[in-house]
Amino acid sequence: MTLDFFTLYIIIVLTSISLAAVWAMIAWQHPNFLTARIWCAACLLTAAGGMMLPFQHTFDTPVIPAAGGNGMVILGFWLFWIGVRHFHEQPGGWLTATAATALCATLTVTLFDNDGALALIYALGQSMPMLLSLRFLLGRRQRSAGVLLSCAGIAIGLAGHGLVILTNLWLMPGLAPFADFVAIAPMTMLGVIFSGILWNFGFAVMTIDRLVGEVTEMANRDPLTGAWNRRKFDEQLSLENARCARTGHPYALLLLDLDHFKSVNDRLGHKGGDESLIHLVRIVEGTLRETDLLARLGGDEFCILMPDTTAEQAQALGRRIAQTLRDTPLHHGGQEVRLSCSIGVSVWVAGTAKPYDAAMSRADDALYSAKAAGRDSIILAPPPLTPSIEPDSLPPLPAKPLACSET
């Protein structure tokens, strides 16, 4: 079967329109996902340019069909690169894309009578943004299935363009063809079409992963404060328990809530109460390490999970939080509101029968003792006497709290 260029151009146009429709639907369903609009525009430009290129030799002037068509296709390829950058929150690239497109359009007009030179312009103009996209994707730390699929598609396209470039460079000095170029050119063009479909599918998989991740994060976030919610906390604590059971490394829990939160609500109203919770979360998050997790368990009760943390380190963090909260008043309705919190600390002990229940129960008991001792204080729960002892059988906590300034 012989593939003629006109048929291949039709395939390019129809494929690009189909892909543009897919990205248009994604952009419509997710209006805040701007990358879909960029990739939709890339497909539309490729389709428009593909419609013009078959007629580039039917006009006396090459400006509109040749330079215009090739310029649209090349700009479309650059938009794929810009979209990849935008997807990974890397703005810019528009000046580079515009300058490269203008250069290729100018060279197309200048070298219009040289078919070999035109083929090189087409291939190089499309290869550069593909190469930059491949380099960008491979340079990312996280390589998902979508990224790998996109890279495979781009690599196939680059291989096709590379064959076109090498063939034309061989023929330009007037050397005898090393193969039947008439048969090679359509096959390389077909490979580029296939690669475009493949890398767009890869982009689609990347998009699905991103959107699912955003939905998952929304489901695991407290809508008021932005802290993680109870479901996320339980999930992470379960994983931490499993990890510590393997390694024996300790983790700490800090259970804290605002002192006299009901009176704060009564005095400032519910809006003021909400602002006080947001204020607390902002202060706590400013003191945490990257590995720590803050979750709102309900009402004004929060918990901090600190992997690989000793009792001393957990107490130091608690003192820092309490002191920063005292020193940073909440400004609401022209008032300066001083807040404080009570904190209960427990540390995971290797070998406990029920590590989740034991750690949480002891932190809760410590928090209760801190409140009973006058609030605005930190109490460290004592460890179980033996690993087999259940939390209910632990000795009572000391009545005197550990002052925030003590070690």
Check residue 385 and give its pLDDT: 59
* CA–CA distance, 53 with 69 (Å, rounded to integer): 5
Segment among 28-32, 62-66, 118-122, 124-128 with least mean pLDDT: 62-66
Q: Same domain, yes or no, for 215 and 354?
A: no
3-class SS of residue 150: helix
Segment among 215-229, 244-258, 381-395 with least mean pLDDT: 381-395
pLDDT digits over 218-242, tens only? Answer: 899 999 999 999 999 999 998 988 8
Q: Is 318 or 401 the better-scoring residue by pLDDT?
A: 318
Q: Same domain, yes or no, for 214 and 241?
A: no
Range of the domain at 347: 230-393
The secondary structure of 273-333 as a DSSP string is HHHHHHHHHHHHHTT--TT-EEEEEETTEEEEEEET--HHHHHHHHHHHHHHHHHSPEEET
Q: Same domain, yes or no, for 327 and 379?
A: yes
pLDDT exceeds 80 at position 179: no
Has residue 120 been placed in a domain?
yes
How far from 43 is each of 80, 348, 358, CA to CA, in Å?
Answer: 9, 55, 58
Q: Same domain, yes or no, for 161 and 131?
A: yes
Check residue 28 and give its pLDDT: 95
Has residue 400 been placed in a domain?
no
Residues listed for the chain: 407
Q: Same domain, yes or no, for 73 and 213?
A: yes
Q: Is the dihedral of CA 24, 29, 32, 33 positive or negative?
A: negative
pTM exceeds 0.75 for this model:
no
The dihedral over CA atoms of 187, 188, 189, 193, expressed in degrees to the nearest 10, equals 100
Check residue 161 and give its pLDDT: 84
Q: Report percent pLDDT > 70 for the chain.
A: 85
Check residue 386 and give its pLDDT: 52
pLDDT digits over 299-356, tens only? Answer: 999 999 999 999 999 999 999 999 999 999 999 888 888 999 999 999 987 665 455 5
pLDDT digits over 364-380, tens only? Answer: 999 999 988 888 889 99
- Band of pLDDT at residue 403, cut at 50, 70 and 90: very low
* CA–CA distance, 370 with 341 (Å, rounded to integer): 10
pLDDT digits over 187-224, tens only? Answer: 777 888 889 999 999 999 999 999 998 888 889 999 99
Q: Same domain, yes or no, for 345 and 260?
A: yes
Q: Same domain, yes or no, for 16 and 94?
A: yes
CATH of the domain at 272: 3.30.70.270
Q: Report percent pLDDT > 90 for the chain.
A: 51
Which residues touch 375 (CB under 8 Å, ≥6 apart)?
259, 260, 340, 342
Has residue 68 been placed in a domain?
yes
Helix 181-220 to helix 69-87 angle (10° resolution) is: 30
Q: Same domain, yes or no, for 215 and 236?
A: no
* CA–CA distance, 135 with 250 (Å, rounded to integer): 41
* Phi (first) and psi of residue 225, to 5 degrees: -95, -20
* CA–CA distance, 27 with 97 (Å, rounded to integer): 22
Total domains in the chain come to 2
- Band of pLDDT at residue 56, cut at 50, 70 and 90: low
* CA–CA distance, 225 with 279 (Å, rounded to integer): 9
Which residue, of 189, 220, 251, is where some domain finishes?
Answer: 220
pLDDT exceeds 80 at position 395: no
Check residue 404 and give its pLDDT: 46
Check residue 26 and give its pLDDT: 95
Check residue 405 and give its pLDDT: 40
pLDDT exceeds 90 at position 81: yes
pLDDT digits over 102-141, tens only? Answer: 999 898 888 877 777 887 888 899 999 999 999 999 998 8
Q: What is the mean pLDDT of the chain?
A: 85
Residue in 308, 205, 305 with CA at minimum distance from that of residue 249: 308
Q: Same domain, yes or no, for 207 and 236?
A: no
Which residue, of 220, 249, 272, is where some domain finishes?
Answer: 220
150, 199 in Cβ contact below 8 A? yes
Nearest 5°: CA angle at 145, between 141 and 146? Answer: 90
